[in-house]
């Protein structure tokens, strides 16, 4: 199983997840600048200085079969409002992580994250037949931790001193996951939440 991932477009009611391309550079920067998201020290949102490296890394990981990066498109106006991706993919074990997620501030707490995660999880478990989907976030990123838990993911643990950040600080990483046997219940919960936003 050389490359388990398949390039695909995931289409929901309000958003589309479209495979990332270099041509998305300007739109991704515009989304990141809505709320100056790149200023958050505990996240990995690209600034003007880092956007090219951000996209190059994503596309390089895609070529190696280790990631599948998407831009998030608001269907109402066709505007790119963020990005997310499958990453740290283990094709042989049918495991992957959903990460590198950010949304323009004006689209946070609107139901966009719930729908994006629903589309990614549905594709992972129902099309790719994944056995587990992971989520990882910085210990200090409380909003992200709460959002992951609301999806129905369970906390596996904390990787202490998991990474050394650019400024030399040690990062503790919180690991969550959803496993295949839990998907039916998580799916029902996410569909219930999405119906609240779509009324």
Task: Express each pLDDT in 7-25 by its tens digit.
Answer: 999 999 999 999 999 999 9
CB atoms closer than 10 angstroms to residue 196: 9
Nearest to 147, CA basis, from 103, 114, 110, 190 = 114
Task: Express each pLDDT in 90-118 by its tens digit.
Answer: 999 999 999 999 898 888 777 899 999 99
Extract the runs of DSSP E, i.e. beta strands, from the chain: 10-11, 15-19, 68-74, 79-90, 95-103, 132-138, 154-164, 170-179
Q: Does domain 10-197 have CATH number 3.40.50.300?
A: no
Q: Cβ contacts of residue 99 below 8 Å, gap of 6+?
A: 84, 85, 87, 88, 135, 136
Task: Express each pLDDT in 38-93 by its tens digit.
Answer: 545 445 667 778 899 999 999 999 999 999 999 999 999 999 999 999 999 999 99
pLDDT of residue 36: 53
pLDDT of residue 1: 43
Residue 198 has pLDDT above 70, yes or no: no
What's the rounded Cα separation, in Å, for the pair 20 and 22? 7
Residue 127 has pLDDT above 70, yes or no: yes
Question: Tokens 């950010």, residue?
Answer: 102
């Amino acid at each position: 199983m050389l490359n388990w991932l398949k390039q695909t477009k995931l289409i929901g009611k309000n958003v589309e997840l479209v495979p990332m391309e270099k041509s998305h550079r300007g739109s991704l920067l515009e989304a990141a600048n809505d709320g100056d998201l790149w200023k958050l020290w505990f996240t990995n949102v690209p600034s003007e200085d880092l956007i090219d490296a951000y996209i190059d890394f994503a596309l390089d990981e895609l070529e190696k079969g280790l990631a599948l990066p998407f831009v998030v498109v608001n269907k109402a106006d066709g505007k790119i409002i963020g990005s997310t991706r499958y990453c740290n993919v283990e094709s042989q074990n049918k495991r992957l992580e959903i990460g590198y997620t950010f949304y323009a501030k004006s689209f946070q707490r609107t139901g966009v994250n719930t729908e994006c995660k629903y589309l990614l999880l549905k594709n992972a478990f129902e099309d790719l037949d994944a056995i587990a989907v992971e989520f990882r976030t910085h210990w200090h990123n409380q909003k992200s931790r709460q959002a992951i838990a609301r999806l129905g993911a369970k906390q596996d643990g904390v990787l202490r001193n998991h990474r050394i950040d650019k400024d030399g600080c040690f990062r503790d990483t919180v690991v969550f996951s959803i496993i295949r046997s839990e998907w039916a219940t998580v799916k029902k919960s996410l569909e219930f939440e999405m119906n609240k936003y779509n009324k």
